[in-house]
Amino acid sequence: MAQSKSKSVLLLCGDFMEDYEAMVPFQALIAYGVSVDAVCPEKKAGDICRTAIHDLLGHQTYSESRGHNFTLNATFDEIDIDKYDGLVLPGGRAPEYLAINSSVQSLVRKFSDSRKPIASVCHGQLILAAAGLVRGRKCTAYPAVGPVLTAAGASWIEPESMAACVVDGNIITAATYEGHPEFIQLFVKALGGNITGSDKRILFLCGDYMEDYEVAVPFQSLQALGCHVDAVCPKKKAGDSCPTAVHDFEGDQTYSEKPGHNFTLTADFEGLDASSYDALVIPGGRAPEYLALNARVIAIVKEFMAARKPVASICHGQQILSAAGVLQGRKCTAYPAVKLNVELSGATWLEPDPIDRCFTDGNLVTGAAWPGHPQFISQLMALLGIQVAF
């Protein structure tokens, strides 16, 4: 459960910002009870920014493919700086052009002059450099940004890993989205947040072509709270990866699909002791179609439900719950196309209207799709007794 005293944050967006680096902090902070406005120069509330999926696939630099469409919820030209308690700068390719925008430079300087927390990741530090904010400050970034930061007078900290984060005064910097858990936690603390009840162990049931956001956003959001979070997949072990799918709503009669990030698993499926975890999370996407056929997956779900431990399932994840026979007499929602599975399993269907609406029934949290992550994560936090107070 999140408790907030009117904390408000600005997320500075641009076309082809990195997909995770925009959505993960955006939805995580909202789940914690923070109000987040996402803006982009020359765009208004309701407009979209294209995003880019950057991944390290063994080449000399990262790969890029198209990510989700990110919908802005505020208008850049109407920003009142005094309203906000902090600023987040995602990376990707957007900072290259945002850094030369005088309005952006002025905006960032005002946050700095007010000593408000500024959290910048990956290539976002190009904006800090252009605004003249890094001279004499310790900071890190994606390694290729190092020469620019050095030239701008920064005390460059070479990232020992892509999860590296550095704090210097009111400026928090991270190398890439791999560092989100620490990056977001540091930002929450800089906003005056206090996290309690997070000594929990949480298990994610993963599979190939699970939805990209539906695994990464709750996974990193829970890690940022201080939870121990493990991701497993049948026939795979710690260090292996699962390809993900980007499911988006682009005006067609159903969602579109594009390749997502590769998601790295953290534990072995074989020999897993499910009883050592306090909660279970089931992402959606296409993975649940085949995971629902796996006897061990079904046994794990039954074990959590029988123990009345929190189970949070989103989108197509409810196909697994249905196959496990644990929905009889329960109330739940899902992606609308999964309604048949839910009703045939003996559950009462709860209409997800709007699509971001989530529901809790006893130990069960269900959501329809990734736009509902803030409610989905917040409701799971409530079941686990996790609070963020400001």
Number of domains in the chain: 2
Question: Is 133 contained in some domain?
Answer: yes
Q: Assess contact for 206 and 283: CB atoms under 8 A.
A: yes
The pLDDT, as a whole number, for residue 6 is 81
Token duo for residue 362: 């006893």
Domain boundary among 147, 162, 192: 192
What is the pTM assigned to this prediction? 0.97
Assess whether 13 carries a catalytic annotation. no
Left (φ > 0), alpha (ψ -120 to 50) or beta: where does 135 sit?
beta
Domain boundary among 192, 210, 240: 192
Choose, from 139, 316, 332, 358, the residue flagged as catalytic. 316
pLDDT surpasses 70 at 2: no
pLDDT surpasses 90 at 20: yes
Q: What is the chain's length?
A: 390
How many Cβ atoms from other residues are within 10 Å of residue 58's Cβ? Answer: 6
Choose, from 122, 233, 332, 358, the residue flagged as catalytic. 122
Same domain flag for 359 and 219: yes
> What are the contacts of 134-142 at 24+ separation with CB within 8 A?
134/171, 137/168, 137/169, 137/171, 138/166, 138/168, 139/166, 139/168, 139/171, 139/173, 140/164, 140/165, 140/166, 140/173, 140/174, 140/175, 141/173, 141/174, 141/175, 142/91, 142/175, 142/176
Assess whether 123 carries a catalytic annotation. yes
At 211, the pLDDT band (50, 70, 90 cuts) reads very high
**CATH number, position 245:** 3.40.50.880
Strand pairing class (118-121; 138-139): unpaired
Assess whether 54 carries a catalytic annotation. no
List pLDDT tens digits, range 237-274.
999 999 999 999 899 999 999 999 999 999 999 999 99
Per DSSP, the three-state class of 34 is coil
Question: Is 342 contained in some domain?
Answer: yes
What pairs with residue 348 in β-bridges?
A: 331
Choose, from 123, 180, 261, 373, the residue flagged as catalytic. 123
List pLDDT tens digits, range 286-295.
999 999 999 9
Assess whether 315 carries a catalytic annotation. yes
At 121, the pLDDT band (50, 70, 90 cuts) reads very high
Left (φ > 0), alpha (ψ -120 to 50) or beta: where does 382 sit?
alpha
Domain boundary among 141, 172, 192: 192
Same domain flag for 274 and 341: yes
**% of the chain beyond a pLDDT of 70:** 99
Question: Is 102 contained in some domain?
Answer: yes
Same domain flag for 129 and 212: no
DSSP letter at 380? H
The answer to whether the bond into 354 is cis (omega within 30° of 0) is: yes
Same domain flag for 120 and 237: no
List pLDDT tens digits, range 165-176.
999 999 999 999
Question: Is 214 contained in some domain?
Answer: yes
Q: Assess contact for 219 and 231: CB atoms under 8 A.
A: yes
Distance separating alpha carbons of residues 119 and 85, to the nearest angstrom = 12
Same domain flag for 149 and 269: no
Its domain, for residue 298, covers 197-389
What pairs with residue 205 in β-bridges?
A: 232
The pLDDT, as a whole number, for residue 4 is 47
Question: Is 237 contained in some domain?
Answer: yes
Question: Is 2 contained in some domain?
Answer: no
List pLDDT tens digits, range 215-228.
999 999 999 999 99
Q: Please, what is the average pLDDT of the chain?
A: 97
